[in-house]
Structure 1
Amino acid sequence: MNQKITKILMIVATCLCVGYFSGIITKESITTWYPTLIKPSFNPPNWVFAPVWTTLYILMGVAAGVVWNKMESDRINVRKGLQFFTIQLGLNLLWSFLFFGLKNPLLALIELTLLWLMIYETFMVFKRVDKMAAILLIPYLAWVSFAGILNAAIFWLNR
């Protein structure tokens, strides 16, 4: 298999693994704690989250793989972008632990702000390396923006 495709597939698989572990953290709370919360009218049904996140993890992985494949032509920005990408991926997993594992919407909201900023920084560096890779992160940035509003509303309604 082509080395470029292998790099993309490796990062997509890594992102999907993060999603899998987020799902493990989330699973119990989705049926026990989460239904007890007061949620805003714009809260999507639970079935929406898995396909949206799966799609986002795939797009994120493709974006990072495309950037990784530019290592020879722009080593500094590729390394910086992949470092930011790795940090945001860790923060992505941490949010699930804070919100669903610790059942702490306020702490999750604070962390989500850091996640959003790190996604934005990743987007900005990816844009310097490959514009299409950056564009692939826009749905993720939009969804995390929505998740922030939703998280804030849940915190506010349940304080």
Structure 2
Amino acid sequence: MRHFPNAKGSLRGEGMWAPVLGLTALPHVGGFCGALITRREVKTWYPTLNKPSWRPPNAAFPVVWTALYTGMGYASYLVWKELGGFTEEALVPFGLYGLQLALNWAWTPIFFGAHKIKLALFEIVLLTGTVAATMVSWYPISRTATLLMAPYLSWLCLATSLNYRIWRDNPESKKD
């Protein structure tokens, strides 16, 4: 594992709760906003769609996303800490992380809000690739952070397959 010297001396010790909590909580901001859209649509529009039998139950999604957002947020803290904060070396790892976070937050309004299933499919494929690129950029910095992102990448593979099947099995939605 490559060691990144801390430009500020030490990020350990007093005052470290703010970065840990802030970076861990950050992904939940978009998740909470997305939940407001999903909550309405999961009772009205979503039940009208043809979905595969292997789809996880609706109740699983908030539990899984809470765990995934917490894991990715804490992983970002580990990278931040190892790099000594938002340094020049952090540009690519956090640029990719920020991009994947924005793509993650955008998927729900596209799929559930706008009912653009095909566009959501293209978007989630891009998201999944960006998460993989983020993990590759994080690996030399923190293997633990990279491993914390693995369940997220796995879930995105499932979600991408589900998005594809919903698009494929709902011909009227192919107009989008």
TM normalised by structure 2 equals 0.85
Asked if 1:128 corresponds to 2:140, the answer is yes
Q: Deviations over 1:58-112 (max 9, x none)?
A: 0000000110112239945432111111111110011001100011111000000
In structure 2, which of residues 53, 73, 94 is the aligned counterpart of residue 41 of structure 1?
A: 53
Greater radius of gyration (CA): 2
Asked if 1:150 corresponds to 2:168, the answer is no
CA distance in 2, matches of 1:37, 1:153: 10
State the partner residue of 2:76.
Answer: 64
In structure 2, which of residues 68, 76, 92 is the aligned counterpart of residue 80 of structure 1?
A: 92
CA RMSD in angstroms, aligned pairs only? 1.7
CA distance in 1, matches of 2:85, 2:53: 48
TM normalised by structure 1 equals 0.94
Check 1:11–1:51 CA distance in 2 against 1; reply closer, same or farther (3 A cut).
same
Which secondary structure does the structure 1 equivalent of 2:139 belong to? helix
CA distance in 2, matches of 1:9, 1:2: 14
Residue 4 of structure 1 and its aligned partner are, at CA, apart by 3.8
State the partner residue of 1:15.
Answer: 27
In structure 1, which of residues 91, 105, 108 is the aligned counterpart of residue 117 of structure 2?
A: 105
CA contact under 8 A between 1:74 and 1:129: conserved in structure 2? Answer: no
CA contact under 8 A between 1:18 and 1:93: conserved in structure 2? Answer: yes
CA distance in 2, matches of 1:143, 1:103: 21
Structure (1 or 2) with the greater helix fraction: 1
CA distance in 2, matches of 1:3, 1:137: 26
Structure 1 alignment gaps of length 5 or more: none
CA distance in 2, matches of 1:140, 1:13: 16
How many residues are matched?
159
CA distance in 2, matches of 1:134, 1:22: 25
CA distance in 2, matches of 1:41, 1:118: 28
Q: Which runs of 4+ in 1 moved over 4 A?
A: 73-77
Which secondary structure does the structure 1 equivalent of 2:75 belong to? helix
Which secondary structure does the structure 2 equivalent of 1:110 belong to? helix
Which secondary structure does the structure 2 equivalent of 1:96 belong to? helix
Residue 151 of structure 1 and its aligned partner are, at CA, apart by 0.5
Report the residue type matching 1:90 in the other structure. A
Residue 3 of structure 1 and its aligned partner are, at CA, apart by 3.8
